[in-house]
Amino acid sequence: MGKEALIIGLGVSGKASAELLLAKGYSVTAADCRFETLKKDPLVSELMRLGLRVVSDDAEIPLSPFALVVFSPGIDPSHPLFQKARKAGIELLGEIELAFRYLPNRCVLGVTGSNGKTTTALLIAHILNAAGKKAAAVGNVGAALSGYALDPDKNEILVVELSSFQLETLSLAHRFDAAAILNITPNHLNRHASMEEYAAAKLRIVHCLKPGGRLFISRQVLQDYRIKNGTVFDNMIGMPPGEERVRLGLPEWANVAAARALCAFCKLPEIAIDSALKTFRKPPHRIEWVAEIDGVAYYNDSKASNIEAVMHAVRLFAGPVILICGGVDKGSSYAPWLACFQGKVAKVVVFGQAAEKMERELGAVFSVNRVSTLKEAVQAARMMSREGDTVLFSPGCSSYDQFANYEERGEMFKKIVRN
């Protein structure tokens, strides 16, 4: 019998893990609660043709045939199959850990943080490529690291974006030549038991550096967590970007400062970094200008799925702001918004699963209009806005009550506005 592996969760990371393990000679079974629907997915169908077996993630799956269990980042370690494999003493690997086993790359950079990590990872790769150094942004940015490991280039610089879910189970072996922690603010408290547990997951990247590796941190991380041996990358940042910079889709100064630090680590001269910065624009759904209608500007910030991200977005506008927020509550209080929104936010429109909690925590101070759907929220915001206002869609929540992901949610917002 050949080597057998079980994958728990068949999303983007799970599919990449399956493809990599099949290529490495494993017999692979994937367990997912959506197993019947997934069989109709073209990529899953192709992987099944290559030998992948897809089953339900029922805890009754016999684990005795498996030498290895790989779990996707979205799988909580409390999942019954995860716990069953741990008790059975079967080797457990996260998707990122699996990929590292097959990576020959000479230089690997890590980027994490509660907010801004995708933009920063893409910006670093953009600058490096523009300067003639081969680089790829992978990981939580959307391109699974295991997919890259199928055909790696040892001379390519890898910029690996890492979520807390990916870091919490990453072994403390030497992984990164340099890493950056952009910020650590409350997030995913519906998954992590506490803010302390969430922060500990983020801070694991400190222990994943190679000997002599460099760590870059923000002032906020230094002040809140007193990390030793970290170089503060944003000491020279001036005022936050104004509305015109946001409207043009330019990266924010903190992202630029972190990218500069890691690119300088890769021995890029300042002139090359400055030149590349002129041609970069943020990816969609990050305080993205959508349209101006009757003198009202509409911005799509669907990527903002936590409390601090919304506060950051609001701070960038002079006001008055009509804020649309809501979705799946992630366990944090919305009380920090009260002081931040003063003098900026004129009205709040809430929708989705978190709407009742938002209305309860914000309603004593702000005018809160509760509706059911995003379409109703946009319609309400338009009715209450006036020339010179900004309608900001910055949900502060996950999308999974009404949408497949934040991208689908953001595209729907743009479609509603433009129609």
Percent of the chain surpassing pLDDT 70: 97
CA-derived radius of gyration, the chain: 22
Average pLDDT estimate for 355-370: 97
The Cα 87–Cα 81 span in angstroms is 10
Question: Worst-scoring range by mean pLDDT, 24-28, 89-93, 195-199?
Answer: 195-199
Confidence of residue 163 (pLDDT cuts 50, 70, 90): very high
Give 29's Cβ-side CA count (13 Å radius). 18
**Any idea what DSSP says for residue 113?**
-
Bigger pLDDT: 284 vs 318: 284
Domains belonging to the chain, first-starting first, are 4-94 (3.40.50.720), 103-277 (3.40.1190.10), 288-418 (3.90.190.20)
In order, the DSSP letters of 355-412 are HHHHHHHHTTTSEEEE-SSHHHHHHHHHHH--TT-EEEE---SBSTTT-SSHHHHHHH
CB 391 within 8 A of CB 382: yes
pLDDT at 248: 78
**Model confidence pLDDT, tens digit, residues 364-407:** 999 999 999 999 999 999 999 999 999 999 999 999 999 999 99
- For residue 204, the 8-state DSSP code is G
Q: Coil, helix or strand for 321?
A: strand
Does residue 191 have a pLDDT over 90? Answer: no
Where is pLDDT greater, at 61 or 248? 61
Q: Which SS3 state, helix, strand or coil, does residue 133 take?
A: coil
Query: What is residue 170's predicted lDDT score, i.e. its pLDDT?
Result: 87
pLDDT at 142 > cutoff 90:
no
Mean pLDDT of 275-284: 94
40-77 tens-digit pLDDT: 999 999 999 999 999 998 868 899 999 999 998 888 88
The DSSP-derived string for 6-52 is EEE--SHHHHHHHHHHHHTT-EEEEE-TTHHHHTTSHHHHHHHHTT-
Higher per-residue confidence, 164 vs 173: 164
**Cis upstream peptide for 320 (omega within 30°):** yes
- Over residues 89-112, mean pLDDT: 95
275 pLDDT higher than 50: yes
Q: Per-residue pLDDT for 31 more than 70?
A: yes
Q: State residue 242's pLDDT score.
A: 63
Question: Closest Cα to residue 41, out of 74, 14, 81, 72?
Answer: 14
Beta strands 209-217 and 157-161: pairing type?
unpaired
Query: Which pLDDT does position 1 carry in this prediction?
Result: 40
Q: Give the pLDDT confidence score for residue 241 in this predicted structure.
A: 52
Q: pLDDT band at 146, cuts 50/70/90?
A: very high
φ and ψ at residue 362, rounded to 5 degrees? -110, -20
Euclidean distance between CA atoms 384 and 394, whole angstroms: 17
Mean pLDDT, the chain, as a whole number? 93
Q: What is the DSSP letter of 272?
A: H
pTM over 0.75: yes
Q: Is the pLDDT of residue 410 over 90?
A: yes
Q: What is the pLDDT of residue 189?
A: 64
For residue 233, CA distances in Å to 43, 103, 119, 182, 220 come to 41, 28, 16, 9, 11
pLDDT at 236: 56
Confidence band, pLDDT 50/70/90 cuts, at residue 235 = confident
Residue 419 has pLDDT above 60, yes or no: yes
Banded pLDDT at 245 (limits 50, 70, 90): confident
Task: Look at residue 406 in the predicted model and tell me its pLDDT.
Answer: 96
Are 184 and 308 in contact by the 8 Å Cβ rule? The answer is no
Strand 230-232, strand 288-293: pairing: unpaired
- DSSP 8-state code for residue 328: B
- pLDDT value at 169 more than 70: yes
Percent of the chain exceeding pLDDT 90 equals: 80
Mean pLDDT to the nearest integer, 167-196: 85
Q: What is the pLDDT of residue 119?
A: 94
